[in-house]
Amino acid sequence: MSSSLAIHPVHVVLTVSKYEMVFGEYLTFIRQKTRALLILVFLHSFMINRIYLSSNHPFATPQTIESIAHSSLAEMRFEGRISFENLEFAARDFGNRYHLMPSAVLHPKSVSDISSILRYVYDLGLSSELKVAARGHGHSLEGQAQAYRGVVISMESLRDPEMSFHGGKHPYVDVSAGELWINILHESLKRGLPPRSWTDYLHLTVGGTLSNAGISGQALRHGPQINNVYQLQVVTGRGEVVTCSDKQNTDLFHAVLGGLGQFGIITQARIALEPAPKMVKWIRALYSDFSTFARDQEHLISSNNSFDYVEGFIIINRTGLLNNWRSSFSPKDPIRADQFNSDGKLLFCLEIAKYYNPRESDNIDQDIDTLLSELSYIRSTLFMSEVSYVNILDRVHVSEVKLREEGLWEVPHPWLNLLVPRSRIHEFVAEVFGNIVKDMSSGPVLIYPVNKTRWRSGTSLITPDDDVFYMIAFLSSAMPSSTGKDGLKHILSQNKKILSFSQRPYLGIKQYLPHYSTEEEWEAHFGPHWEVFYRRKLSYDPLAILAPGQRIFRRGIAYVQQ
């Protein structure tokens, strides 16, 4: 199902241009007049919408919102169901620090359920402050999928369409945006055609990761997940159902990719596939010098014949590190590996993987030896493992199961993700790991470069200006009752110091999964792209109904922070 977008000034200008040759000078005159008029109309709508986007309606009170939510919504008919009880799950997320209670949760069965509720809320206009948040798997960190006193749409209920696979030269799968990547992996492997780009953890929804970017170690070959989608179906903040792609409704397509849920709810996605490998050689090796480590990582992501996955992490002050690896990796040189002492050092671990099929395994070892011979890691620290393709992709879930057993999965996760330009990475590492972070007992710190030259441009994702930039992810878990270095207070204060350094404008560092509280901070995050982001908001969600938990366009919500 698709419908055309509302008439936009730009569309009118384009239509005028098309007939200009036929009507000659007459039309040139009209066009000048029309342009002037359009600018006035646009400015007028901009001013009105600016009021819509940033202020409270004077007559709406929490009581009227509650009563609208309960009486009118309860009378609506859905193919799925709307619920006003047992809503606590929708006020939680992986970050486990923000708990914003909605008034209702919609469990949609069809796209028209989503379109109906958005049309209904849009038609309430300024008489209501009701907001709507799509919730994927709720793995946000700071309440981004929550809606205080609003409606949360639980996207996992949407099973429309059933996954449908298509072969040919450019194979793809059509999926519901509420689908988990892990389910797509299992289904796609039955056909030998999995998606090309992943996140490190697969129990996330398609709509949730496409609203951010979906970056991981496979990005060196295929770019992030937002690069590997051919087409989307989106329900805008006006309730319109729109199909969009690089060729059709392109502005909306680019807007929602990395769009933090601001322009529409993604309901379907067409995802690019590639032939599946069966097995993976998974390799780790250590460096004690950051410059050598960074040079090798950058070499690997820039060469054509390289590994299929390149990531890395930082090790601070760990004892017995290599011994811990032995449960899943084997040392290439066991005797020298035994003699290596990691105690107290700042180390950098390269993590790489090469995919293969068993019948090619003779060649694969040779290929890997050749690739490794170009690198300058500490020779005694090379560890290798052979795992199935599924096992490497679903590796974080193994840790999840263990942490859940110990009651350590549902703790606060004050994560901080930064994108650091290559030109500033040495300065960043020297300051952050020399002066701020002295210990990382609270969780891993990932560090790896990506090369954005082949990434899709024009999306809403904000990255540093350099073509190569580093993903630095501080993935902390806070121990609930700890007042020490693994306690929430200490980690938040450390994050604050890292952020205060990183926000120096000359560094050009950007947050990934960004989190800010004021419009000024968001403007600074988007920089010169803010105007486009704002213009798109006016086009697709002029009443600022969608994804209020991102706190970009606020309508005066009283946020509750624990």
Q: Are strands 279-287 and 330-331 parallel, antiparallel or unpaired?
A: unpaired
Residue 45 CA to its chain's centroid (Å): 31
- CB–CB of 377/349 below 8 Å? no
DSSP 8-state secondary structure symbol assigned to residue 30: H
Establish whether 79 is a catalytic residue.
Answer: no
Residues near ligand FAD, by CB under 6 A: 93-94, 133-140, 144-145, 155, 177, 199-201, 204-205, 207-209, 211-216, 260-261, 265-266, 396, 513, 547, 549-550
The encoded tokens of residue 175 equal: 């999926």
For residues 173 and 238, what is the distance between their CA atoms, to the nearest angstrom? 28
Catalytic option among 160, 311, 351, 541: 311
3-state SS of 360-404 is HHHHHHHHHHHHHHCCCCCHHHCEEEEEEHHHHHCHHHHHHHHHH
Geometric angle at alpha carbon 112, from 108 and 115, rounded to 5°: 95
How long a stretch of residues is the chain?
562
Which candidate, 74, 73, 80, 77, places its Cα nearest to that of 109?
Answer: 80
Contacts with 302 (C-beta within 8 Å, 6 or more apart), sequence order: 451, 468
- Of the two residues 162 and 360, which places its CB atom closer to ligand FAD in the complex? 162
CA distances, 60 to each of 124, 127, 338 (Å): 11, 7, 68
For residues 266 and 62, what is the distance between their CA atoms, to the nearest angstrom? 29
Q: Are strands 309-316 and 279-287 parallel, antiparallel or unpaired?
A: unpaired
Establish whether 431 is a catalytic residue.
Answer: no
- Of the two residues 94 and 377, which places its CB atom closer to ligand FAD in the complex? 94
Query: Identity (one letter) of the amino acid at 419?
Result: L
Backbone angles phi, psi at 206, to 5 degrees: -60, -50
3-state SS of 82-121 is EECCCCHHHHCCCCCCECCCCCEEEECCCHHHHHHHHHHH
For residues 318 and 438, what is the distance between their CA atoms, to the nearest angstrom? 11
Number of H helices, E strands in the chain: 18, 18
For residues 329 and 387, what is the distance between their CA atoms, to the nearest angstrom? 10
For residues 88 and 126, what is the distance between their CA atoms, to the nearest angstrom? 28
DSSP 8-state secondary structure symbol assigned to residue 137: S
Catalytic option among 139, 254, 413, 490: 139
- Of the two residues 212 and 228, which places its CB atom closer to ligand FAD in the complex? 212
- Cα-Cα-Cα-Cα torsion 194, 195, 196, 198, nearest 10 degrees, comes to -110
For residues 81 and 90, what is the distance between their CA atoms, to the nearest angstrom? 15
DSSP 8-state secondary structure symbol assigned to residue 88: G
Contacts with 79 (C-beta within 8 Å, 6 or more apart), sequence order: 108, 109, 110, 112, 113
CA distances, 510 to each of 421, 465, 474 (Å): 9, 10, 14
- Of the two residues 137 and 424, which places its CB atom closer to ligand FAD in the complex? 137
Report, in angstroms and rounded to the nearest whole number, the Rg of the chain calculated over CA atoms: 25
Establish whether 200 is a catalytic residue.
Answer: yes
Query: Identity (one letter) of the amino acid at 533?
Result: F
Please, what is the minimum distance in Å from the beta carbon of residue 343 to ligand FAD? 29
Backbone angles phi, psi at 410, to 5 degrees: -95, 45
CA distances, 142 to each of 353, 414, 483 (Å): 32, 8, 21
Active-site annotation, residues: 139, 200, 311
